[in-house]
Amino acid sequence: MNKRVTNWIALGALWAAALTTVGVLGTLLLYVIINGIGALSLRFVFSAPEGVRMEGGIWPTIVATVYVTGLAMLIVTPIAVFAAVYLAEYARQGRLVGTIRFAADTLASVPSIVMGLFGLALFVEALGLGFSMISGALALSFLMLPIVMRTTEEAIRSVPKYIRWGSYGLGATKWQTVRKVVLPAASPRIITGIILATGRAVGETAVVIFTMGTMINTPMLPLDPGRSMTVHLYILAMEGINLPAAYGTALLLVAMILGFNLLARFIVRRNRRMMG
């Protein structure tokens, strides 16, 4: 066969692969939006589910999801950022750093169901925190840790060296340089990483089902149990009760994830413009 013909056929196949991927995404989003939009109303968002068919709204599940992911973000941010500062600024390459990286990679690839059972065994049972927001947040923070660590480390490494030299040249110590020069310069990308990790936590199901429980409850204190939006959607879908509410929940979840993604993208873009 002529090499030009082969070329056209092959490039056509590559176009087809990419369009299939994006087409599936489009179908998925459109399907959720079209079916979910009818279920959305102020009452659906702001009232609690009632009765065996879960009529009414999903407010408690929204509160639980925001509560647990917010708490997880607060727990993980300082630890992950300091860990990344250590890896990028302080550590010399060696066995210790190799071990830390291997651990972070392993943590990133632990199946979420294993993380869920771990949270159940350690936080819910061994530490006696019960099915609660704090148990869920602690388990989720282990899930988020490697993501935030990795993005923060990359952000710190992308800060140009001469800025640091300028700071050292003025007599600043290492920590002064890190705190006043490096971290501010890296902060947009660090924030982006935190947002993306939080978005991942919002969509997590298998971890929270074993650490927060499935009880519908509007959590107030960190020790309160609750049901996340993802668990609610799972239960509605599997039991086949109240499909409109399932579509509505799915739409709100997708909207939240989309929001997180767009926010992260916006921060990156604005930062790029500022840096020139």
Q: Where in 3-62 is the site for another protein (CB under 8 A)? A: 3-4, 6-7, 10-11, 13-18, 20-22, 24-26, 28, 31-32
Q: Could you tell me the two tokens for 165?
A: 């030299």
Cβ distance to another protein smaller for residue 115 or 134: 115
Q: Where in 120-159 is the site for another protein (CB under 8 A)? A: 120-122, 126, 142, 145-147, 149-150, 154, 157
Cβ distance to another protein smaller for residue 46 or 168: 168
Among 66, 107, 241, 267, binds another protein (CB under 8 A): 107
Name 181's Cβ contacts closer than 8 Å, sequence gap at least 6.
159, 163, 164, 166, 167, 172
Name 240's Cβ contacts closer than 8 Å, sequence gap at least 6.
none
Quote the CA–CA distance of 126 and 243 in Å, as a whole number: 38
Half-sphere exposure at residue 252, Cβ-oriented, CA atoms within 13 angstroms: 27
Cβ distance to another protein smaller for residue 14 or 274: 14
Q: Counting contacts by CB under 8 A, is residue 202 touching another protein?
A: yes
Quote the CA–CA distance of 167 and 179 in Å, as a whole number: 11
Q: Which stretch binds another protein (CB under 8 A): 53-61, 129-137, 215-223, 227-235?
A: 227-235
Cβ distance to another protein smaller for residue 85 or 133: 85
Quote the CA–CA distance of 231 and 222 in Å, as a whole number: 19
Among 73, 164, 189, 212, binds another protein (CB under 8 A): 164
Q: Counting contacts by CB under 8 A, is residue 237 touching another protein?
A: yes
DSSP for 108-132? HHS-HHHHHHHHIIIIIIIS---SS
Half-sphere exposure at residue 181, Cβ-oriented, CA atoms within 13 angstroms: 22
Q: Counting contacts by CB under 8 A, is residue 161 touching another protein?
A: yes
Residue type, 165: W
Q: Cβ of residue 276: shortest distance to another protein, in angstroms?
A: 19
Q: Where in 241-270 is the site for another protein (CB under 8 A)? A: 243, 246, 250, 253-254, 257-258, 260-261, 264-265
Among 63, 64, 73, 80, binds another protein (CB under 8 A): 80
